[in-house]
Amino acid sequence: MTSYFVHFLFLWSLSVMGSAEPAGCKIRITDRGLDMLKYETQKFVEEELSNISMPEMKGEEGRFQYTITDVKITELNLTHADLRFIPDVGLLFDVQNSSISLTFNRRILYWFFYDTGNINASAEGVNINTALNLIRDEEGRLKINNITCDAKISKMSAKFSGTLGRVYGFLARFLTTGMRFLLNQKICPALDHAALVLVNSLLETIPVRTEVDQFIGIDYSLISDPVVTSRSLDMHFRGMFFDLSHQNISLVNYAVEPVIKEYDRMVYLALSEFFFDSGLFSYYTAGVFQMHIVNEKMPKDLEMLLRTTYFGFIMMLNPALVDAPLSLQLAVNSPPKTSIKTSGATVVMTAIVNVMVLPPGQPPVQLSSMTMETKFNAKVSMRGKRLSVHADLRRFKIFSNQSALESLALIPLQAPLKTMLQMSVVPLINNWTKRGVRIPLADGMDFIEEVVEYHNVSMHIESAFMENLSSKMH
């Protein structure tokens, strides 16, 4: 009995593992990319700490009565700062043996003497250890859900100025002890706010479910928590386009999940065939892949050839239709399919082409119906955060849907129809795709020096970062 139960659990676990949704899009940020982000992170932390507000201090020490106001951080020297990955957790920002310079005003009463002045203080041996836990939230967005912070200041010194500056210099130790305690208490709350509010607001600029154009949108929700190792942060996105008018209709992802093995570049973007297929499927369900070529849209030489080809048939139908306008109705009859190999990416598209004659004031009359098979080369490029595709017609074939004999008669139409496709349809497709689609990176982060590599069933874009994050978090 026990063996049957164990066998059942084993099969059940295999079915659960097999049912996991594959990612259509993956992004890996490596430790080299993290080095690039370290400067921006350090600058952001310095800005946040410089805005720390300190409360007014009042008290008595012997015959001295003092009031400390207008505490300001004038300089932070975070020279020994590091940003690195914490496996299975997220990020660690670590500051060791750094310094902070402060200034504040004093009002001191000693017996009958009253004195005011400025105090310059410096905190040495500043150590800050901040760990950020990264998760996928309910909306599928990357988010910091927890921060662990530990801050310590080893020592603090102060220099008095003013009339009695040298007289009560012994107060420096007392005052700086209190100031060091307060500053220690302020650092971590400031960084908590920075991470949980400001950085999360930056992460909210990463698109999750957004429109691409008037026809389709894209779903970039994370399908799992980010995978963090000592060398990288991997994010697995759904990477699925959808028809804006039928958002519940989507393509099932049966494609092989892209795999990123490299760590040499700062960032890697991997896209599966499903990523592109879902976009083509969504355009197909939106009815975009339909075209009516008539009148001035039809090349004159093609119109002349169509009239010559179908002259006999028109005369048999009705001689009065000889001078009636002709039209071509193109409609893709199934979702186009993408294939990615080491040689590049191609798209196969099949359409029905109907040749129609348009009698004035009467319903159109079909002269012929043919199948058009096309194959396009798809060149993928990246600019900033936008991924675009440029299509070039590689192969073209037409054949009749009615008889093999008519297919032979259509041979003269091959070349002019191909030219028409290159001049009219392909530019229309490229006009849709040239705007591109944004990839899931936060505002202030862009790709530069991109290298596109094609693998079997997936495509990788390797890149360096160009970033300016600190200005985006305020």
How far, in Å, CA of 395 to CA of 92, rounded? Answer: 53
What are the structural domain ranges in the chain?
25-203, 207-465
Fold of domain 207-465: Bactericidal permeability-increasing protein; domain 2 (3.15.20)
**The predicted structure's pLDDT at residue 466:** 57
Structure tokens at 328: 């071509």
Residue 78: pLDDT over 60: yes
Residue 3: pLDDT over 90: no
**The predicted structure's pLDDT at residue 465:** 61
Torsion of CA 59, 64, 67, 72, to 10 degrees: -110
Structure tokens at 63: 């015959």
pLDDT digits (tens, 9 = 90+) for 143-184: 999 899 999 998 888 876 655 555 556 667 777 777 888 888
**The predicted structure's pLDDT at residue 106:** 77
Which one, of 382, 390, 396, 282, lies nearest residue 344 by Cα? 390
Is 23 within 8 Å of 236 (Cβ atoms)? yes
How far, in Å, CA of 410 to CA of 162, rounded? Answer: 101
Question: Cα 71 vs. chain centroid, distance in angstroms?
Answer: 41
**The predicted structure's pLDDT at residue 170:** 62
pLDDT digits (tens, 9 = 90+) for 199-226: 888 889 898 999 999 999 999 999 999 9
Q: What pTM value is reported for the model?
A: 0.84
Beta bridge partners of 136: 142
Residue 372 sits at φ, ψ, to 5 deg, of -115, 120
How far, in Å, CA of 383 to CA of 257, rounded? Answer: 24
Residue 441 in 3-state DSSP?
A: coil
Reading phi first (left if > 0) and then psi (alpha if -120 to 50, else beta), residue 287 is in left
Q: 25-203 — its CATH code?
A: 3.15.10.10
HSE, side-chain direction, 13 A CA sphere, residue 277:
20
Residue 7: pLDDT over 80: no
How far, in Å, CA of 463 to CA of 386, rounded? Answer: 13
**The predicted structure's pLDDT at residue 426:** 87
The maximal CA–CA distance of the chain, rounded, in angstroms, is: 123
**pLDDT over 70, % of the chain:** 90
Topology match between the domains 25-203 and 207-465: no
